Amino acid sequence: MTVLLPRRGLAQILALIVILAVDRVVSPQFFDLRLQDGRLFGSLIDVLNRGSPVALLSLGMVLVIATRGIDLSVGAIMAISGAIAASLADSHGLPIVLAAALGAGLICGLWNGFLVAVLGMQPIVATLILMVAGRGIAQLITEGRIVTFSSPDLVWLGNGAILGLPVPVAITLGMLALSCAVVRGSALGLLIEATGGNARASELAGVGTRAMILAVYVWCGVCAALAGVIAAADIMGADANNAGLWLELDAILAVVIGGSSLFGGRFSLVLAVLGALIIQTMNTGILLSGYPPEFNLLVKAGVVLAVLLLQSPKFSGLAGMAMRLRRTKA
């Protein structure tokens, strides 16, 4: 198994190395690290730090996609939890703020899971409801204003450091370790894959598919809420209109780059987070290169298409055919 794992992620690791190399060419001091006030600084750390919210989202998203689902509402959930955290931060202690924000994510996840697992809605549609309404709810909480706060505890979540690492990076690593331990350390991962592979067959085989689907949406909601709290702590405020805007697409992209199948079944937590890192490394690279950030979207579109084509069974079929043709001609 340990021998198999690197082989599966080889393409992603190679892609990351290539992009890092390009970044190094663009910005010679890209790999420089320095320790200041007990925290590491440098472009690499910056990539990890900026990539944390999307990495957290993709941790939740990858399990949802593994059950053949999709969660479009994660950006809206980020806005809701950020709004709650920002409005409570100056009047309540950190534990209460976190509990309220993550609790909101949990409820949002339960709602999505309920619609998909119990009412049997298509995941795209079910989560579209919260995607549309959620941002409105977030604005209701902030009353349409940008709520700012100065609570040092919450600010630390966004800008502090643990063992030299920025707190968001430490939280992301912790969540990755936790989810790997729970999902891959038990049969849970297998059951989720079974649900995504063939829900009906798994149900007949005794897998509690409904409970599985409900659980992954709840997990995704909590991950999104955590990302929302971090994003709010980072800017010391909550902007219901823009917090987490379009990040659901980045999260889906990260999962796809991580090689998980959009048709359910096959998934990898580590590679999804790696996918998020690849996206962020590209973003940072484009910023450092001095190109306008607008190029981001074009580059992202190109990457999505390339990854999709490589994943498509038809494409490998066509490529194989072309090679055979060439061989017969020769």
Partner 1 sequence: MKGLPPVLITAIVLVAGSVLCAVQFPNIASTRVVGNLLTDNAFRGIVAIGMTFVIISGGIDLSVGSVIGFTTIFVAMAIERWGVPPLLAFVAVLALSAAFGAAMGATIHVFDLPPFIVTLAGMFLARGASFLLSTESVPITAPVYSTVSDFALRVPGGGRLTAVAMIMLAIVIGGALLLRLTRFGANVYALGGSRTTASLMGVAVGKMTVKIYMLSSLLAGIAGIVFSFYTSAGYSLSAVGVELDSIAAVVIGGTLLTGGQGSVIGTFLGVLIQGLIQTYINFDGTLSSWWTKIATGVLLFVFIVLQQGLVALARRPVAGRAGAAT
How far is the C-alpha of 328 from the C-alpha of 231, rounded, in Å? 57
Instruction: State the minimum distance, in angstroms, from the CB of residue 242 to partner 1.
Output: 11
By the rule CB under 8 A, 13 interacts with partner 1: no
Is 315 a binding residue for partner 1 by CB under 8 A? The answer is yes
Q: Which backbone phi and psi does 35 adopt, to 5 degrees? A: -100, 125
CB closer to partner 1 out of 186 and 316: 316
Q: State how far the Cα of 258 lies from the Cα of 96, in Å rounded to an integer.
A: 35
Query: How many CA atoms within 13 Å lie on the side-chain side of 216?
Result: 32
Choices 25-33, 39-47, 96-104, 287-295 (CB under 8 A): range interacting with partner 1: 287-295
x/- letters, 88..127, toward partner 1 (CB under 8 A)? -------------------------------xxxx-xxx-
Q: What is the CA radius of gyration of the chain?
A: 21
Per-position x/- string for 226-255, each x denoting binding to partner 1 as judged by CB under 8 A, each - no binding: --------------x--------x--x---
SS3 90: coil
Q: Which of 20, 54, 130, 171 binds partner 1 (CB under 8 A)?
A: 130
* CA distances to 66, 75, 98 from 259, in Å: 11, 22, 32
Sign of the torsion formed by the C-alpha atoms of 158, 135, 70 and 246: negative
- 136 lies in the binding site for partner 1 (CB under 8 A): yes
Q: Which of 105, 161, 167 is nearest to 134 (CA)?
A: 105
Opening angle at CA 309, ends 308 and 315, nearest 5: 140
Q: Which is nearer to partner 1, 92 or 300 (CB)?
A: 300
Q: Which of 14, 35, 298, 319 binds partner 1 (CB under 8 A)?
A: 298
Q: Does 128 bind partner 1 (CB under 8 A)?
A: yes
Cα angle, residue 71 at apex, residues 79 and 47 outer, rounded to 5°: 60
32-91 positions binding partner 1, by CB under 8 A: 70
- Tell me if 320 contacts partner 1 by CB under 8 A: no
Under the criterion CB under 8 A, does residue 133 sit at the interface with partner 1?
Answer: yes
Decide if residue 308 touches partner 1 (CB under 8 A). Answer: yes
Q: Phi, psi at residue 42, to the nearest 5°?
A: 145, 165
Task: Find how far residue 120's CA is from the centre of its chain.
Answer: 25
* Contact between 292 and partner 1 per CB under 8 A: yes
* Interface residue list for partner 1 (CB under 8 A): 70, 119-122, 124-126, 128-137, 139-140, 143-144, 240, 249, 252, 256, 262-263, 292, 294-301, 304-305, 308-309, 312-315
